[in-house]
A = this chain, B = another copy of it.
Amino acid sequence: MDNRKRKALEAAGWKVGSAADFLGLDEEEAAVVELKLGLADAVKARRGRRRMTQEQLGRLLGSSQSRVAKMEAADSSVSIDLMVRSLLRMGASRKEVASCIAETPRRRAA
């Protein structure tokens, strides 16, 4: 393989070649927030469809009402992991999780 040469040339400082499609920190954070809003909406929607209270869902997840509330508010203290796990626990498929990550969340207002 002839990677060595190219690697030495490209990626030398920071300007790696090809598409140059790195996001900055701010853009990344914005994307994460949108993504989390999408998950939050999905959790709220699914819980609503089941006619469950936050406390019931909290119990199902082995968690608490307050954490569910924060989850649905896309609070900065809740991880993507928790939201994803919650959706899966409520019966969402991986594809469904994916789709609510892909779509721009409805509730954009602050």
Contact = CB atoms under 8 A, between A and B. Distances in A.
Main secondary structure of the interface of A (DSSP, over half): helix
Interface in A59-110: 60, 79-81, 84-85, 88-91, 93-95, 97-99, 101-102
Contact of A89 (B11, B23, B34): B23
A94 B18 CA distance: 20
A35 B51 CA distance: 28
27 contacts: A6-B51, A7-B51, A10-B51, A11-B51, A11-B52, A11-B56, A16-B50, A16-B51, A18-B49, A19-B91, A21-B91, A22-B91, A23-B88, A23-B89, A23-B91, A28-B85, A31-B93, A32-B84, A34-B94, A35-B97, A38-B94, A79-B80, A79-B81, A80-B80, A81-B81, A97-B101, A98-B98
